[in-house]
Amino acid sequence: MRIITHTCTQCGTVVSANELESSRVMKCPGLSCDNVLRFAELPEEERRFFLEHADQYEL
């Protein structure tokens, strides 16, 4: 299965797309980082792939 992740632009913390998709907007989980990550920041191609295969990402 293809793993889709988003990397925080400020601290480099990697967040999985399904975590992002479930909340759409989330505060970066990185220590002492208050960057806000958005599902919409993923490249369009990755978002489309994720949404088309969303059932495979249920954990």
Interacting residues with Zn ion (CB under 5 A): 8, 10-11, 13, 28, 30, 33, 35
| 10 token code pair | 């400020």
| Helix (H) or strand (E) run with residue 17 in it | helix 17-23
Q: Are 3 and 16 in contact (CB under 8 A)?
A: yes
| 24 token code pair | 């759409």
Residue 38 CB, nearest distance to Zn ion (Å)? 13
Nearer to Zn ion, 21 or 26 (CB): 26
Residue 23 CB, nearest distance to Zn ion (Å)? 15
Residue 11 CB, nearest distance to Zn ion (Å)? 3
